[in-house]
Structure 1
């Protein structure tokens, strides 16, 4: 009994406490090791996932794309889009897009429009694979093929920029171009978006008499609501230095001097006449450059105003004495 009294009991308690403390510390250290261990589970899972995606057949993906589960449907659409925009499948899609067979062209247009416009897909990854010269060439070939179909009237809208003969399929091709164009404007210019397509496009203002072909860009800004998609394409092109050069080169945009004339004449009201065959037609008013440039004297006066020089020290109001103009030369 003497062993369990006094100092003996104290030492016994200390020994038991030390035993459990050592076991607890050892257990905690093992947990720390497990938590800090670097594992490669994610990489293995990714490899398995990629292999599974490649093994899925198209029929299976089609069923998954119709699933009620949002995650399954989105995953199936992503796999389909990735397969459709790389390798031989992509080349066949663009080949069908550029061909003149209406059935093949229509299917390619529907597929490409879905790929670039559907929100469930990763638009960035899709567009990155559709921003090369080959893609823009195929799409512009498609748009050029539609030029031959501007025959039958498809709309009754009277507009200087929207032709009444626009084919239905062209609208989808324009939408695709509007989405892809900002991704690579130089590539689209090299493929001929202006030199091969827009310079031949039947804009009503370009076909009118007198022709306002060089005012296409200005009219696109003024009448943009008549053809929002085409106006957006022109906005993208006219925002790029090389686009401006080609628009001016092919006569769809006036020179800088003519644009200044347009700014000076904004106060004057223009009248655009539509359906004016044998009758007076109907008139629509727009604030843009006048249809008639005016007399030769008025043109010369505007030219002299642009060539004037204003000199003033800033200490008093400007007067006629501060304006130096070239002398008027009589012919």
Structure 2
């Protein structure tokens, strides 16, 4: 049989015919799917991205109080948050509102004080550094200290002499609110105004440190050594100023020798900067105050401290770690 006959015989085989039909069908279907996919991709209309819309200051100012009240009840959380932010911004820039809050936290009624403290907490949390800056004045520090006095009178004094547990979280909620605000303030602005508001005399010294002077000093020292809470943070900042050390000494919480030694350890530059800030707040002028130099050794130490570099970018209060002093040299 010739090759032509063998080919015809192979082509007439049913198995070959079925395979050929199957391949042809597969090729046709694949071609149709590919063509339809290309047509679909070419005619696809992408969804338009939503444009970000910002609320201008004019739009905020035009919103009336009744409108903001309705927005506060809106089910959308973002809209409600924006309404709260607008109200807090308005309150932070309204001196009457701030004065009313200070009046509220100094009222004898406990619930009225707590409502004012919660309002103040919302105000500072929504406005950030701007709201915190509104608290940095003598009226604010005096009001917070007075609030702590009232909270102390309305509850029993906690035990501060047990070194095995921290009483801070069992303190009155109003006291903890005030301590939170004071911690944020002194971390940003220093403790000078807090000391001037008599925080040590009106609140810290009235804690149950003990009955005798020795017992009070010992228990206070143990508290500072074994605790790590906002009270110890505030006291540590107070110890960075000469005025604060003298207040602690006068209150009987540290002895005279420790106070004088700590004052000598503080660099003159740091003390002078703190005093200049305090003087600027009172008179609006920067005045340099220097302590008397009683001996040649003190003069040498003071000259050495003055020969220093201060590295601070202004984002935090000036601290001892920011000052690089010249190495000591023989007298």
The bucket for the TM-score relative to the shorter chain is: 0.5 to 0.7
Native 8 Å contact 1:53 1:79 kept in 2: no
Tell me what 2:127 maps to: 122
Tell me what 2:82 maps to: 75
Task: Provide the C-alpha distance between the structure 2 equivalents of 1:90 and 1:57, rounded to a whole number of angstroms.
Answer: 23
Matches within 5 A, 1:1-331: 46=56, 48-53=58-63, 57-63=67-73, 67-69=76-78, 72-85=79-92, 86-116=94-124, 118=125, 121-151=126-156, 158-159=162-163, 162=167, 166-182=171-187, 183=189, 185-202=191-208, 206-207=209-210, 211-215=214-218, 218-225=221-228, 228-257=229-258
Q: Which has the higher mean CA deviation after the structures are superposed, 105-114 or 250-259?
A: 250-259
For structure 1, the 5+ residue unaligned runs are 1-44, 261-331
Superposed displacement of residue 146, structure 1: 1.7
* Partner SS, residue 221 of structure 2: helix
* Partner SS, residue 172 of structure 1: helix
Native 8 Å contact 2:161 2:223 kept in 1: no
Superposed displacement of residue 113, structure 1: 2.5
Superposed displacement of residue 54, structure 1: 6.1
1:198-253 Cα deviation digits (max 9, x unpaired): 22222xxx22667432346633431123xx12111112211233222222222222
Superposed displacement of residue 142, structure 1: 0.5
Native 8 Å contact 1:98 1:142 kept in 2: yes
Change (3 A) 1:232 1:179: same
Native 8 Å contact 1:157 1:164 kept in 2: no
Task: Provide the C-alpha distance between the structure 2 equivalents of 1:184 and 1:56, rounded to a whole number of angstroms.
Answer: 40
For structure 2, the 5+ residue unaligned runs are 1-54, 262-331
Superposed displacement of residue 125, structure 1: 0.3
Task: Provide the C-alpha distance between the structure 1 equivalents of 2:64 and 2:195, rounded to a whole number of angstroms.
Answer: 36
Task: Provide the C-alpha distance between the structure 1 equivalents of 2:119 and 2:135, rounded to a whole number of angstroms.
Answer: 13
TM norm structure 2: 0.52
Change (3 A) 1:175 1:83: same
Native 8 Å contact 1:152 1:165 kept in 2: no
1:167-199 Cα deviation digits (max 9, x unpaired): 343222222222233335222222221122222
* Partner SS, residue 171 of structure 2: coil
Change (3 A) 1:211 1:257: closer
Change (3 A) 1:258 1:48: closer
Native 8 Å contact 1:61 1:76 kept in 2: yes
Number of aligned residue pairs: give it: 205
Q: Which has the higher mean CA deviation after the structures are superposed, 129-138 or 182-191?
A: 182-191
Native 8 Å contact 2:141 2:193 kept in 1: yes
* Partner SS, residue 194 of structure 1: helix
Aligned CA RMSD, in angstroms, stands at: 3.5
